[in-house]
Amino acid sequence: MKILRIIIYLIFTPILISCTGTKDIIEIGDLSNLNISGIKNNKIIFNGQLEITNHSYLPFKIKTIELAVIVDNIKIGNVKSLNPLRISGHCSKEYSINFAFEITNPETEVNFILDYMNGNHNELRLKGIIRAKYFLFKKDVEIDKQISIVY
């Protein structure tokens, strides 16, 4: 019975994955409960809750997230995930995520942090790639999203 299940997965997985459009697989919501957990190798380590919606019926693992952080059309840094996330099939929920933020434009970053602390700025634009994997299949999903930081 177990072998039959594996054979069915091997046959239908490529069909299901190929029928799902890459743009519609992952939808990123807002970032909440953002906390700084440390500084390591000139990177600020954050953790928080990120709402992710999986429109596919297949669960998958997000191996890497590589996004540029843009404020007022100026790139202030890059965000990379530190740990893989297992995303459940066809659901929307908040996932705990740890990521490293590398500053590429220190002057703009300092201004953004000061504005953020004063409550003036709470939106970022994230642009980049999320790499998702299911079994032997991988997909790169392009993200270009304006998100709110809830504090």
pLDDT tens digits along 107-132 = 766 777 677 667 666 677 888 888 88
pLDDT digit string (tens) for the chain, length 151 residues: 677 676 666 666 655 555 455 456 777 777 788 788 888 887 888 888 888 888 877 788 888 888 898 877 878 889 998 888 898 888 899 999 898 988 887 776 677 767 766 766 667 788 888 888 877 777 787 888 887 765 5
What is the Cα–Cα distance from 93 to 77, expressed in whole angstroms?
Answer: 26
Structural domain range at position 32: 2-150
Q: Note whether 63 and 46 are within 8 A (CB).
A: no
Task: Say which amino acid occupies 115.
Answer: D
Domain count, the chain: 1
pLDDT tens digits along 135-148 = 777 778 788 888 77
CA atoms within 13 A on the CB side of 74: 12
What is the Cα–Cα distance from 121 to 70, expressed in whole angstroms?
Answer: 12
The reported pTM is: 0.66
Domain harbouring 18, CATH code: 2.60.40
DSSP line for 87-142: EPTTEEEEEEEEEEEEES-HHHHHHHHHHHHTTS--EEEEEEEEEEEETTEEEEEE
CB contact burial 76-89 (16+ within 10 A = b; e otherwise): bbbbebbeebebee
